[in-house]
A and B are shown apart, each in its own frame.
Chain A
Amino acid sequence: MKVAYWPGCVSRGFTPELHGSMSKVAPLLDIELIELDRAACCGAGVIAEHNQELADTLNARTFALAQRTDGELMMNICSTCQGAQSECQERLDANSDYREQINTNLGNEGLRYEKGITNKNFLWLLVEEIGLDALRERVTRPLTDLRVGPFYGCYIVRPVDRLGIDEQHPRDRYLHMLIEALGGTVVDYAGVYKCCGFPIITMNKEASLAQAGRHIGDALDAEADCLVVPCPLCHLNLDLQQPAAASVVGHELGLPVLHLPQLVGLALGLSPKELGMGKHIVRPTSVIDWSTSVVASAA
């Protein structure tokens, strides 16, 4: 399938392995990515906090660019983009006068947003468009015995109404379902639906890292081999900042954190190196050991 692809900022900045692994995984799933390279940052809630119309205009522009492509829908790889863009879309779709006004802003560039774009995180697309059965068929290296803790990130699970989470679309269980479909073991721990703390890292570093540290600690206590996150901002606090978080909570951590496409890529047979895991701050030793042992036993 063809999708208008919004990689976001951080996946091309401080977590380049995310965008990198997504482009490796996409062809294995027959996803053709049409990259929206002229679009701008979603604002991550911060631009909206400054000026709501500005955030809505920037995201309407991204939607309009996506609607110009021949992609079936728009796809993102960042929970924060999903949440921030869904919030803007809610306003744009709810009120035609307002939408007109925003479209007037876009007029100079000849762009126009039409109500009702479908914008899905890679996680939602995997479950709802590709389907877990189809995915299972493509798994060449099931994640047998790999204990994976899901970490969703706030923006992709709340608020439930805006994100369309209901019994038909239990999107807040998709990571669980996916880990199982890939053959791994789900580790439930207290932090599954909690906040990584990243949004306040410059305002209250201690409270921010205390959150990251606590969730990592809980996952370690539950004997997870790694975490998987669909959000690069969570990855920054959980991986890049993990050594600092360890000193805030006062005990050793050391839990590898994988981006969602990396986990999928592993099961589809890509190597940790191809998936850019060497770039992580916390060396994904447990994952590398696991993949070597799988490869060894297959040989």
Chain B
Amino acid sequence: MAQTHRSVAPLLDIELIELDRAACCGAGVIAEHNSVLDAILKVKADTDGSIGVRCSCQQGICGSCGVRMNGKPGLACNTHLDEAARRGAGTGWNPPDEGQQQETVVTVEPMGNMPVIRDLIVDMDAVHWRKIHRVTPWLINKEPIPEREYIVPHDNMVDVTQTMACIQCGACVSDCLSMEVDPEFIGPAALSKAYRFVGDPRDAEHHERLKDLSEDEHGIYDCTHCFNCIDACPKGVDPMSQIMRLRRVAGSDFDIEDRNNGHRHERAFVKNIRKNGLLHEADLLPDSYGGKLDPHALPELLGSLPTIATALARRKITPKTALLHTHKAPKEVKALFDEVDGRETRNELNLYVTGYEDDPVHPPHTDEPTPLEPPGPTEAKDDRSEQTVGAADREPPAETSAPTVGAEDVPRAGAEDQEPPTSEEQE
């Protein structure tokens, strides 16, 4: 993407803002607490009306104003200028450009990983929306459809609310590091959307969805766990955590074997630590490909031979470290594996659902849903003392979400599956 720093001029409080295209703005009403979008629109109004930028709500709702500010993706309308300026100065993951002064300059660029249509406008259809469509982004009802609402355990619903908070801005897609090298990777936004249905007990096709996303070489096992999408997302969706949930459900609940060795690698790793306490790399590699004797493993292992030969020659590894298990797990570690991993249901703490004790910013989630009518006496109420989220509710054969008359646990229809935002494209 073009990144030219051309004519700039001081604004009122913040000194200057650089845009991708020429931008020169006299003293105006722009102050540091204004948003980056305010500044862009001001420059557009005063200086260069041709600047292309997409925006609509200006309130962090529609998701149309995603841009990179000092190298970090986000919404231009809900990022203050002073915050954007600081981002590049060491408290973000991108350093300031050479010669760029800290805290006074905000460089605005179009988002990455998507073709630029013009200036700050990227082609969301070509990448983001295509990927969203890839994951069957709608609920496939379990049959029979109840006469009235489905009832869903409260914690399950709160859990998927996190992914429903997505406003489809593309900020996570912009800076996804796997997508940077593999443009076909389904990516953070679309995989979060997939979890929205895999985590929903009303959906009938959990297994099919997971099988599909595990088998795809650009699916859930193509995420490199880089955390970029977590920091990018303005809505706290935590896309990477949703991808890890998809992997956990696919591997541990459904035991789905995939051609990418995703589940095999996870199993091999766990087995390896149970046995050795510490990772024994020499076993992990063949086991991740299915074991030393597996036909899949052979080509991979042969391919690694030159590397291993050099490592041996440099005494990085010795035949002893490569072949023998010099470290054995203490029996207490084995016992923990057997006890915790042997439980009927996995026990998970979802901080999005439970909140943080002693933290006023993220207090525990307490707002009880208000039932429209009091639930019938025979109805099982979801057990709130239990922190397990979902595992039991989406176990393949288990059917815990009996359709029944309604509590308001069911979210407002349509809140999540919005159409592409209708946005003003100001050109």
A residues at B contact (CB < 8 Å): 9-10, 12-17, 38, 40-41, 43-54, 56-58, 61, 83, 90-91, 94-98, 101, 105-106, 108-109, 154-155, 157-160, 165-167, 170, 172-173, 176, 188, 192-195, 197-200, 202-204, 206-208, 210-211, 214, 240-241, 243-244, 278-281
Contact = CB atoms under 8 A, between A and B. Distances in A.
Contact of A243 (B224, B306, B337): B306
A199 B224 contact: yes
- Report which residue of B93, B230, B285, B333 has the largest number of chain A beta carbons within 10 angstroms of its beta carbon: B93
Q: Which 7 A/B pairs are nearest by Cβ-Cβ distance?
A: A158-B227, A9-B279, A195-B226, A210-B181, A9-B278, A193-B93, A279-B316
Interface string B272-311: 0100011111000100110000000000000100110011
Given A9-B279, A51-B340, A166 B227 contact: no
Contacts of B227: 83, 154-155, 158-159
A157 B267 CA distance: 28
A200 B311 contact: no
Contact of B351 (A54, A91, A199, A243): A91
B351 A50 contact: no
- Report which residue of A53, A105, A193 has the largest number of chain B beta carbons within 10 angstroms of its beta carbon: A53
A113 to B, nearest CB: 13
Q: Chain A's interface: helix, strand, loop or mixed, by majority? A: helix
Interface in B174-233: 177-178, 180-182, 185, 217, 221-228, 230-231
Contacts of A198: 224
A262 to B, nearest CB: 14
B228 A204 contact: no
Nearest to A111: B332
- Report which residue of A16, A51, A91, A98 has the largest number of chain B beta carbons within 10 angstroms of its beta carbon: A51
Contacts of A17: 316
Contact of A40 (B86, B306, B333): B333
Interface residues of B, number: 80
Contacts of A202: 261, 265, 285, 288-289
B406 interface: no
Interface of B: 86, 90-95, 98, 177-178, 180-182, 185, 217, 221-228, 230-231, 244, 247-248, 251-252, 260-262, 265-267, 269-270, 273, 277-281, 285, 288-289, 303, 306-307, 310-311, 314-317, 321, 327, 329-330, 332-333, 335-337, 339-341, 343, 346-349, 351, 354-357, 359, 387
Nearest to A90: B351
B387 A13 contact: no
B316 A14 contact: yes
Nearest to B356: A94
- Report which residue of A56, A91, A108 has the largest number of chain B beta carbons within 10 angstroms of its beta carbon: A91
A61 B182 CA distance: 38
Contact of B252 (A40, A43, A50, A243): A50
Nearest to B280: A13
Nearest to B277: A40
- Report which residue of A47, A172, A195, A204 has the largest number of chain B beta carbons within 10 angstroms of its beta carbon: A204
Nearest to A155: B227
Given A17-B316, A105-B340, A158-B93, A203 B222 contact: yes
Contacts of B351: 90-91, 94-95
A38 B95 CA distance: 39
B99 to A, nearest CB: 11
Contacts of B177: 154, 194-195, 211
A48 B244 contact: yes
Given A50-B248, A95-B354, A173-B90, A204 B221 contact: yes
21 contacts: A9-B281, A43-B273, A46-B265, A49-B244, A50-B267, A50-B269, A50-B270, A58-B333, A83-B227, A95-B354, A96-B357, A154-B228, A155-B227, A159-B227, A172-B90, A188-B95, A202-B261, A203-B265, A211-B224, A281-B311, A281-B316
